[in-house]
Amino acid sequence: MLANAKDCPICGGTGFTIERREGVEVAVRCSCRHDGRSEALLSAARIPPRYQHCTVEGFEVWSADVGSRNLQSMAKRRTREFIDCYPRLEKGLLYMGSVGTGKTHLAVAALKELIATKATQGIYANFLELVQQLQMSFDGGGTSREDILRPVTEADLVVLDELGAGRLTEWVRDLLYYVINSRYMAGRTTIFTTNYLDSPQPPRGESRDAAAAGPYRSSSHDAAGADRWQETLADRISERLRSRLFEMCDVIELRGEDYRARGGSRVGRRP
């Protein structure tokens, strides 16, 4: 790597060059970036071992339902477009859909590839684990709140997984607003995943038409997670935060059966 990256005659110190691929201009990492930097960044990204082999090419489109397969194919294509166009993007991504449809797979795949090919400084964070870490910091021992939040608010690219998971108290909503708003104000790119959609979803066996007639309310909390589908993302994180996500992200919806429930696993699949 050049002693001073600003002296690079190819990229002028930006770290990226523009190439035309199949008629589309994409940003690629300049040769002045040392490969060892990407390795160090990938190690620092905190990607769980379970997801370390995720790739866009390894995402399998498999649903028996044609509509779900089309959404899965579109999600795969849009993830590829996001990677190719980064960092020349105005918005991040919000993957929405039921469990086991591959949201985290695609989000992590994008993070990994951008670190490897464009030396992006990125990090993975599970929202529920982030909240738990902050709660543990209140006893005065271990990592401080500032040290926990700084990587999540300041990284160039963050994957915030399981948005809306767990018990959302006012304190948790305030925390979520702080993280999201900090990244929004700084113009930093964020990829979110959530199991909640923007319209009420029916319990299994019911139709979407019935869901459109009004929100469900059930006394049972054991029917394969049915209650989760009776809530929208706005119900979980507040209308204010959902509105902010509209400004920050393009939505990618995924549908289909739980891939793990049929004996498969997208996690760890190699291309």
Residue pLDDT, tens place only, 42-55: 999 999 999 999 99
In this predicted model, which residue has the larger pLDDT, 12 or 71? 71
Domain contains 80: yes
What is the percent of the chain where pLDDT is above 90?
Answer: 56
In this predicted model, which residue has the larger pLDDT, 100 or 219? 100
Q: How high is the pLDDT of residue 222? A: 41
Burial of 67 (0-12, 13-18, 19+ CB in 10 A): exposed
pLDDT tier, 33 (very low <50, low <70, confident <90, very high otherwise) = low
pLDDT tens digit sequence for 212-254: 444 333 333 344 444 545 789 999 999 999 999 999 999 999 9
The answer, yes or no, to whether residue 35 has pLDDT greater than 80, is: no
Helix, strand or coil, per DSSP, at residue 34:
coil
- Sequence-distant (6+) residues with CB within 8 A of 1 are 32, 33, 34, 37
Domain contains 148: yes
Q: List, in sequence order, every beta strand (DSSP E) within the chain.
A: 16-21, 24-29, 92-97, 122-126, 157-161, 189-194, 249-254
Are both 66 and 8 inside the same structural domain? no
Q: How high is the pLDDT of residue 86? A: 96
Average pLDDT rounded to a whole number, residues 196-203: 76
Average pLDDT rounded to a whole number, residues 177-202: 92
pLDDT tier, 201 (very low <50, low <70, confident <90, very high otherwise) = low
Q: How high is the pLDDT of residue 215? A: 39
Are both 110 and 150 inside the same structural domain? yes
Are both 29 and 43 inside the same structural domain? no
Are both 29 and 46 inside the same structural domain? no
- At 42, which CATH number? 3.40.50.300
Are both 145 and 118 inside the same structural domain? yes
The answer, yes or no, to whether residue 14 has pLDDT greater than 80, is: no
Average pLDDT rounded to a whole number, residues 170-190: 94
Are both 48 and 141 inside the same structural domain? yes
Are both 42 and 135 inside the same structural domain? yes
Are both 27 and 107 inside the same structural domain? no
Are both 41 and 27 inside the same structural domain? no
Q: Which domain holds residue 72?
A: 35-197+232-262
Domain contains 130: yes
CA 224, chain centre distance (Å): 24
Nearest to 148 by CA among 167, 126, 164, 170: 126
Domain contains 215: no
pLDDT tier, 69 (very low <50, low <70, confident <90, very high otherwise) = very high
In this predicted model, which residue has the larger pLDDT, 6 or 22? 22
Are both 29 and 123 inside the same structural domain? no
In this predicted model, which residue has the larger pLDDT, 156 or 25? 156
The answer, yes or no, to whether residue 143 has pLDDT greater than 90, is: no
Q: Are the CB atoms for 218 and 203 separated by under 8 Å?
A: yes
Domain contains 7: yes
Residue found under tokens 């919806």: 253
Strand order in the sheet with 249-254: 122-126, 157-161, 189-194, 92-97, 249-254
Are both 9 and 115 inside the same structural domain? no
Number of domains present in the structure of the chain: 2
Average pLDDT rounded to a whole number, residues 195-213: 61
Mean pLDDT of the chain: 82
pLDDT tens digit sequence for 113-141: 999 999 899 999 999 999 988 888 876 66
Q: What is the dihedral of CA 127, 132, 135, 136, to 10 degrees?
A: -140
Q: Are the CB atoms for 189 and 86 separated by under 8 Å?
A: yes
Are both 22 and 140 inside the same structural domain? no
